[in-house]
């Protein structure tokens, strides 16, 4: 059985509002979430814009420090910001962002971009640095000629492949992927996804995959977690998630996925139409945060915030209707 590599327990991240009518209040971007990821596993963290999924990713890699709760990686507490983490943890968790155009220095060549993390962590092969860099490029299906190119001369897919190569350079155990294919066309998306699956098998990588695309998770994730207003509504192994979802919000999202075959239509959830709009994370409704949109909400849902409960092995749901 694979060991747990990442454990998030009671994680909260609040951002204070310093201006305007809401001064002194907080945006509750993450409001107490729990999940674990095992070695070689892909956890798909899914949610609409503003659900807190990217903030979760930024806490895991250390861009933000936690307001409360704990993040444990390989048994060590890494809840603090990256600058306070030991150097070995910085190289062991890498990240690939949604838009590589904003994270690749346009003034540096591909050679310089890949050399930098290797030099920082003392991992550059001084006997054959070029050979080491070419191996990284070939791992992401780019040829040696790319070494002397600059990001501006690369296509969107090629830039994302370079970003993956940079993440791989420090030989990490985990890569956090923040919507890495959302800005790419469908054919390039498929190429990137197949590459990520191959690299995961070759290097026993663990992925935390942030996305708003549930259909992408069916063939990529090991388990899926749904976030809503800073909390996890449901988390389950991928097969259970798609065939037996229990939270109304999960059912709503799955019912909206387009299908292209009769077989897919059989397993599609019955259409659920939500009410209203997503509330502000500054003024979260009392009780269950989904109560203003849930067509099945009962009196209890407007009074008490439900607790996460395990309804079967590894299947957790936070709902009064269960």
**What average pLDDT does the chain have?**
91
What average pLDDT does this structure show over 131-154? 95
Helix axes 129-139, 156-168, angle to 10 degrees: 120
pLDDT at 257: 78
Residue 14 confidence (pLDDT) above 70: yes
pLDDT at 25: 85
In the structure, what pLDDT confidence band is assigned to residue 208 with cuts at 50, 70 and 90? Answer: very high
pLDDT digits (tens, 9 = 90+) for 157-181: 999 999 999 999 999 999 999 999 8
Examine residue 228 and state whether it is found in any structural domain, yes or no. yes
What average pLDDT does this structure show over 249-253? 92
Half-sphere exposure of 173 (CA within 13 A, CB side): 13
pLDDT at 266: 55
In the structure, what pLDDT confidence band is assigned to residue 259 with cuts at 50, 70 and 90? Answer: low
H helices of 140-281, in order, are 156-168, 186-203, 214-217, 238-243, 248-255, 262-267
pLDDT at 265: 57
pLDDT at 275: 76
CB distance 174 to 41 below 8 Å: no
Residue 246 confidence (pLDDT) above 90: yes
pLDDT digits (tens, 9 = 90+) for 227-243: 999 999 999 999 999 99
pLDDT digits (tens, 9 = 90+) for 47-74: 988 899 999 999 999 999 999 999 999 9
Tell me the sheet residues that pair with 42: 207
User: Is the overall model pTM greater than 0.85, yes or no?
Assistant: yes
Residue 123 confidence (pLDDT) above 60: yes
pLDDT at 102: 85
283: domain CATH number is: 3.40.50.300
The tokens 């939500």 sit on which residue? 274
| DSSP secondary structure letter of residue 58 | H
| DSSP secondary structure letter of residue 270 | P
Region of 311 please: left (phi>0), alpha (psi -120 to 50) or beta.
alpha
Examine residue 322 and state whether it is found in any structural domain, yes or no. no
Q: How many domains does the chain have?
A: 1
Better pLDDT: 285 or 5? 5
Residue 111 confidence (pLDDT) above 90: yes
- Element housing 310 (H / E): strand 309-312
Examine residue 39 and state whether it is found in any structural domain, yes or no. yes
Which residue range is the domain that position 93 belongs to? 4-317
What average pLDDT does this structure show over 40-51? 93
């Amino acid at each position: 059985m694979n060991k747990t590599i990442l454990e998030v327990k009671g994680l909260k991240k609040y951002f204070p509002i310093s201006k305007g009518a809401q001064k002194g209040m907080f945006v509750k971007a993450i409001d107490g979430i729990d999940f674990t990821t095992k070695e070689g596993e892909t956890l798909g963290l899914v949610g609409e814009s503003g659900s807190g999924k990217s903030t979760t990713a930024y806490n895991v890699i250390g861009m933000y420090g936690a307001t409360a709760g704990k993040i444990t990686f390989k048994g060590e507490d890494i809840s603090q910001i990256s600058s306070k983490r030991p150097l070995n943890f910085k190289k062991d968790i890498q990240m690939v962002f949604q838009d590589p155009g904003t994270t690749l220095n346009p003034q540096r060549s591909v050679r310089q971009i890949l050399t930098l993390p290797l030099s920082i962590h003392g991992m550059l092969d001084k006997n054959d640095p070029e050979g080491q860099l070419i191996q990284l490029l070939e791992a992401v299906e780019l040829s040696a000629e790319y070494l002397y190119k600059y990001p501006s001369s690369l296509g969107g897919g090629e830039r994302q492949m370079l970003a993956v190569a940079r993440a791989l350079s420090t030989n990490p155990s985990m890569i956090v992927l923040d919507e890495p294919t959302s800005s790419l066309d469908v054919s390039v998306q498929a190429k990137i996804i197949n590459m990520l699956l191959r690299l995961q098998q070759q290097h026993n990588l663990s992925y935390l995959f942030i996305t708003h695309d549930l259909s992408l998770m069916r063939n990529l994730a090991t388990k899926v977690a749904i976030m809503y207003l800073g909390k996890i509504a449901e988390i389950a192994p991928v097969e259970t998630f798609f065939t037996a979802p229990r939270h109304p919000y999960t059912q709503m999202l799955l019912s909206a996925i387009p299908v292209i075959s009769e077989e897919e239509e059989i397993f599609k959830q019955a259409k659920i139409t939500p009410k209203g709009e997503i509330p502000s994370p500054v003024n979260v409704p009392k009780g269950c945060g989904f109560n203003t949109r849930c067509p099945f909400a009962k009196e209890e849902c407007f009074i008490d915030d439900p607790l996460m409960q395990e309804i079967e092995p590894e299947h957790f749901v936070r709902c009064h209707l269960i």
